[in-house]
Structure 1
């Protein structure tokens, strides 16, 4: 496969996954914003800005921090390259460039999502309601994945799409866990602590999985173990790395040896780590180191497969 085609497919998948992750984060932020107001109620609204490093851009364009302004900034703004609108636009551009590598069902799912997104932007999220909008974004992402798994050949096109999805998913899970952990450290209100832990699990569709595996009330240690070390959860860091290894092996080629080496090394580190190993340096520090290693993997994938040779 041409490196340009591989790059378009890889980034198409990353943008689609990013749009879904943004919708999930906005959904839980919106739910937390509805809790009774306390002196520090704004810290929950900081979560999307902290995850994406968009604090300065937001402050330059919006007079105050509110859920209404956050929704506009992260859902509809074309100034924010991490907004759902921007992500779907870039995903559509990438998909259009490699339409011949996609099945008609996959292309139609992306094209329909982009057409509907432009209509929603013209009318405003209020025309459908915030909750319905978040559900729509997640449903469109699920439809894309269903069409992808059900219709694409088991070939490099599928493998690069999966690789992009997994890199983005692992990055989002680690960032969300890190931000939420800092919030729990800074606020000792037991009621807010419970709802923050619950909304964190909801953000990664893991609430039911937690109860199934642990059969106990939420604990910060249990949530950290679930999202990092349990490969039963599709969005855990270990599960993402396991699937990345599989996709890189399927792509093959000696040019990808460095990328495979990095993924195997990080997978082995997680596979044979205990929760104590993760918590010993501090969860925030451990997650920062993980994100650095994940960025090294993404850079290695880019050099190995996505740059013109």
Structure 2
């Protein structure tokens, strides 16, 4: 496969996944903001969202004070924000358009229709009328896109590069979400002070789980009250949790092996070592050494892996 084609497929998938992840984080913050809480706690949540995407400085330069309405506008509509949903869906559509010959008609039409419908909804103020329904629509279109890819594309290098892009982006986002959210409530590891705190904790950890479609999964796997260390274990080490770090890296390693070339041995080695670390680690060891340090190192390794994939297969790093 031409490296330029692989590049477009890889980034088409990454941008679609990024749009979904942004919608997930915005939806959770929006739903949480409707709960009784102080203005300071609400602002902290929106600051955390900006921090996850490393956009705090850019936002403050353009919008000033952190307010829910402004943050949502910045992360949904702002075309100058490269991580906004509008920017991600546009980039996904443009990358798909560049390689229409490598896609099935269904994949292209799904991606193109998502972009056109998204713009229509923005013009009709659907986002302002019901943010929750709007975010659910973005998530649904991403789910639809992945389903059409797997259901209609030949299982060749084109699909493998799409899958690599999807799961590399998912691993990065889940790690960022965990790092910011756990850091914000670090004291929760030592227990809540009173009943009110415990009630807030339940909604907080429930929100984190719902942001990765993990609430029902947690109940099925652990069958007890929500505990921070169990949330961390589920989202880091469980290979059967679709959006966990372990599951995402497993997919990256599997698909890398299917597109391997004469230059990719080192990238595969690093990906395999990262998978092994996740497979044989334990949550108590991670928490003992420090969750923030672990996730920071993980993000560095994912970034390094992305750079290796770009060098070995794609046109250039972006």
The TM-score, its normalising length taken from structure 1, stands at 0.96
Q: Is the 8 A contact 1:15 1:87 kept in 2?
A: yes
Distance 1:128 1:139, change over 3 A: farther
Counterpart residue number, 1:118: 119
* Residues 126-135 or 221-230, more deviating: 126-135
Matches within 5 A, 1:165-244: 165-185=166-186, 189-244=197-252
Please say if 1:56 is aligned against 2:64: no
Aligned residues: 308
- Structure 2 unaligned blocks of 5 or more: none
C-alpha distance in 2, partners of 1:58/1:219? 33
Unpaired stretches in structure 1, ≥5 consecutive residues: none
Residue 61 of structure 1 and its aligned partner are, at CA, apart by: 2.0
Confirm or deny: 8 A CA contact 1:81 1:87 kept in the other structure. yes
**Rounded Cα–Cα distance in structure 2 between residues aligned with 1:155 and 1:16:** 20
- 1:18 is aligned to 18
Taking structure 2 as the reference length, the TM-score comes to 0.94
1-side partners of 2:128 and 2:84: how far apart? Answer: 18
**CA–CA distance in 2 between the matches of 1:125 and 1:56?**
28
Q: Mapping of 1:39-118 within 5 angstroms? A: 40-41=40-41, 42-118=43-119
Shifted more, 180-189 versus 170-179: the winner is: 180-189
Give structure 1 regions of 4+ aligned residues with deviation exceeding 2 angstroms: 120-128, 186-192
Q: In structure 2, how many angstroms separate the alpha carbons of the residues matched to 1:264 and 1:220?
A: 28
Residue 165 (structure 2) aligns with: 164
What is the CA-CA distance between 1:279 and the residue it aligns to? Answer: 1.0
CA distance in 2, matches of 1:57, 1:191: 34
Query: Partner of 2:142: helix, strand, or coil?
Result: helix
Q: Aligned-pair distance for 1:277?
A: 2.0
SS of 2:251's equivalent? helix
CA distance in 1: counterparts of 2:271 and 2:127, whole angstroms: 43
RMSD: 1.4
For 2:252 and 2:127, how far apart are their aligned partners in 1?
A: 38
